[in-house]
Amino acid sequence: MTTLDFSGKRLWVTGAGRGIGLRIAQQLHELGADVVGLDRQFDQAEYPFRTTLLDISDHQQVQDVCRKLLDEQPHLDGLINAAGALRLGNSDALSLDDWHTCMDVNVSGAFYLFRQLGPIWKRQRSGVVVSVASNAAHVPRMGMAAYCASKAALVSLSHCVGLELAPYGVRCNLVSPGSTDTDMLRQLWKTPEDAQRTIDGSMDHYKLGIPLGKLATVDEIANAVVFLASDLASHITMQDLVVDGGATLAA
């Protein structure tokens, strides 16, 4: 019987320093995986998995770190793209730096990793990728032009890479969270009531509420990612699993 068992499997997780990426890395480690967490910084004193510093928006760093890690262990079972950046502003007010930050981290970083790891998975004829996008990839949001565009681009990129790698037995999927209780979300709140406003939605901002009546937890998002990375999802590829409590109403 197929189970959630990652024993003997090696997986890299970007954005593993905090939030959703951290919880994904922890869950994979708890399920027996050999996890390498990648991030620009790791603030905790200790992590249960190996950590390696990497700014995925820097293509040279991505190349160097990939080569170093693959020299140590040439086999890689999977990649979880959980690193992300959020910059707010309408399109006519958004700075070029904020635009490029969203694109560089949310899209280009994944592309740089795909370039390095695609040949490895083709040679192995196996591998799995799960990228964390957003339900913002599916619906427009006020003040989130860069974020929405970058996450939509990530979805399309993942589908294309999934199609390219499918003949080699490699699966590429996405999880698109809605509002999730993380530091990234909390930085948008200015008052204690803002959490409930996020749940209720705001027609002034053309944003529907969350039908399930609550924010997602990092565990709920990590659960979906781990499932898609596991053998339980062995015949699932090029899919985007939206985990948002119904907020996009199947848009």
Give pLDDT tens digits for 67-112. Answer: 999 999 999 999 999 999 999 999 999 999 999 999 999 999 999 9
Q: What percent of the chain has pLDDT over 70?
A: 87
Confidence category of residue 190, pLDDT binned at 50, 70, 90: low
pTM here is: 0.91
Structural Rg of the chain based on CA atoms: 18
Q: Active-site residue 147, yes or no? A: yes
pLDDT at 211: 86
Confidence category of residue 166, pLDDT binned at 50, 70, 90: very high
What is the CATH architecture assignment of 10-181+217-243? Answer: 3-Layer(aba) Sandwich (3.40)
pLDDT at 251: 47
* pLDDT > 50? residue 238: yes
Q: Which one from 47, 112, 147, 168 is the annotated catalytic residue?
A: 147
For the chain, domain boundaries:
10-181+217-243
The answer to whether the Cα torsion of 54, 101, 159, 134 is positive or negative is: positive
